[in-house]
Structures are given as C-alpha cells and as structure tokens.
Amino acid sequence: MSNVKFHPSVHHDTSEPKSSVVIPRDDLGRSLVSRCRAFFFALSLLAIIWLLVLPAIGKIPSVDAMIRRHDAAGIDPSVMFYSEIEHLEYRDGMLRLTTEAAEERSQF
C-alpha cells in the first residue's frame, strides 16, 4: 500500500529553514520534484520501448513472418479465454473455423 502523505507537518530534513511553502514528500522522503523526475523518466523509457524498440523488433524477418501468419489466419495470440477467439467457434464438440475464417484461409 502506498502511503503518500501530503500533510504539511511532514518534514524529513529539520535543518532546512521553515517556509510557508511546503513541499509534499512521500513515505520514502522523496520530494515532489524528485518523484516527477522519476515519473517522466519511466514514461520516456516506456515511450522509447513502445514507439521505437518494439516496432523495430516487429520488423525482424522471423518475427515479421510470425505476425503476418497470425494476421492471415485471423489469430489474436493475446486472448485470455477461449470465448475471445474470434476465428473459431464451438460446433459439434470442437472448436472449428468460422465460415468467414475458412473462406479467408482458402484464399492463401
């Protein structure tokens, strides 16, 4: 549980002169500026990974081939439960290709 305290009474460095402007600190004693810096650093890291690194990985021939194969077959590898599989439907005791998926596959 995060216990971020925004109470004016929380001063970790007592040697600082008291002022009317109180900088809120968290339970680790970090100032707002230091927390914002950490946040924007983490956000920048995520942006670099998602906008540059991951698209670059997707262009590696073997990965690209896998992505194209999944696309062509209508497969979403990120589904969590069988009911989310769109290209297969339950019929006579099996999950079978839907008519649309079967037609699409016949074109490849």
Q: Which residue among 17, 84, 106, 107 contacts another protein (CB under 8 A)?
A: 84
Question: What's the rounded Cα separation, in Å, for the pair 36 and 48?
Answer: 18
Does 48 sit near another protein (CB under 8 A)?
A: no
Q: Which of 68, 73, 67 is nearest to 88 (CA)?
A: 73
Does 4 sit near another protein (CB under 8 A)?
A: yes
Structure tokens belonging to residue 100: 């649309």
Half-sphere exposure of 106 (CA within 13 A, CB side): 7
Positions that interact with another protein (CB under 8 A): 1-2, 4, 6, 26, 35-36, 38-39, 42-43, 46, 50-51, 54-55, 57-58, 63, 66-67, 69-70, 73, 75-86, 88-90, 92-97, 105
